[in-house]
Amino acid sequence: MRRYLPGLLLVSPALAIIVFLFLVPLAGAVTGAFQDADGGFSFGNFIKTYQLYSNDILFTIVIVALSALLTAALSVAIAGYLTLGTSPAAVAILRWLYRWPLFIPFIVVGQILRTFLAKNGLMNNIFVATGLITPLHTVGFLDWRGIVIAFVWKQTPFVTLLLAGAMASIDRGTVEAARNLGASRLRILLEIVLPQAAPTLMVALTLSIVTMMSVLSVPLMIASQSPTVITVDMAFRINAYGDYGVANALGLISLVLTGAVAWIYLRQTMRENAR
């Protein structure tokens, strides 16, 4: 124990922050979800949550799942081209292009897509000006579609960055062998490159799902009317009613949902490692 003392002393302040500002509030979220107004144990918050927000919970799952799927498809396409592309100039252009949204803050993403995707936003204005559609046919995207577009817009570069890194480090021999046998690039990507980079894709997607479940600013700015995602509901419960019980019940549900994703991922990797 003595020889560990200096190291533990130096690490303990950082760990104290995690304990007091993460574990204690987490415990507060779990116990708060099961407390009624008088502090007694009850399932009342969950019953109320189910009555008021079961649609929004379903809505959240669909939005996050759809965003994750679209992000995965786009990331595989971009990272695949970066890895297997034959024209150095095209690869360089794509590499320069794709990562712009990576460091743009979510709140800014919310603002720029809100003005861009609105019924009278720049996107529709351009379509009208170029004669693609008439002003009568413009459609605003400031609903669930806006949230999905914002999530995919922001998360694709992140997943692509990690995935392209993983694809670059796989064994090139199998790729060259398949190419010599005349396999198409799409087939090489899907049957040789992607399976080897799949663990990284799953990690990146899991992290993205956690992010999407946490972000409040994007749904708040793009589509805060009902139906909406549960982060907006939690903020509303607290700001409008000071109702911590239902907010914590919703919080616990979002923790369980992401926990389920993480568990599926972990089980998958363990099964693959056991093979």
Partner 1 sequence: MSVLAETAAPARAAAWYWIPRAVLFGLLAFIIFGPLVNLLLWTVTEKWYFPHALPLEYGFSYWGRVFSPRGNAMGSLGTSALVACLTVFLSLLLAIPAGYALARLRLPFRSLILLALLVPNAFPNLPIYVNIARLFYQIGLNGTILGVVLVHTTHGLVYAVWIATAAFGAIEPELEEAARSSGASAFRAFRDVMLPLAAPGLMASAIFVFLESLDEFTGTFFVGAPDVTTLPLLLYTSAAGGNYQIASITALILLVPSIAFMFVVERFLRADVLANIGR
Could you write out the DSSP letters of every residue in 174-221?
A: HHHHHHHTT--HHHHIIIIIHHHHHHHHHHHHHHHHHHHHH--HHHHH
Q: Mask of contacts with partner 1, 216-245, x by CB under 8 A?
A: xx--xx---------x--xx--x-----x-
Among 36, 54, 135, 263, the residue binding partner 1 under the rule CB under 8 A is: 135
Q: Does 214 bind partner 1 (CB under 8 A)?
A: yes
Least distance (Å) between residue 216 CB and partner 1: 5
* Choice between 201 and 234, CB closer to partner 1: 234
CB-based contact 138:50 (threshold 8 Å)? no
Least distance (Å) between residue 151 CB and partner 1: 14
Hey, which residues between 142 and 161 contact partner 1 (CB under 8 A)? 153
**Can you tell me the distance from the alpha carbon of 209 to that of 196, in angstroms, rounded to the nearest whole number?**
22
Q: Does 98 bind partner 1 (CB under 8 A)?
A: yes
CB-based contact 147:66 (threshold 8 Å)? no
Q: Does 199 bind partner 1 (CB under 8 A)?
A: no
Q: Does 99 bind partner 1 (CB under 8 A)?
A: yes
Least distance (Å) between residue 194 CB and partner 1: 20
Instruction: Look up residue 261 and give its two tokens.
Output: 């994703």
The alpha carbon of residue 128 and the mean position of all alpha carbons in its chain are separated, in whole angstroms, by 32
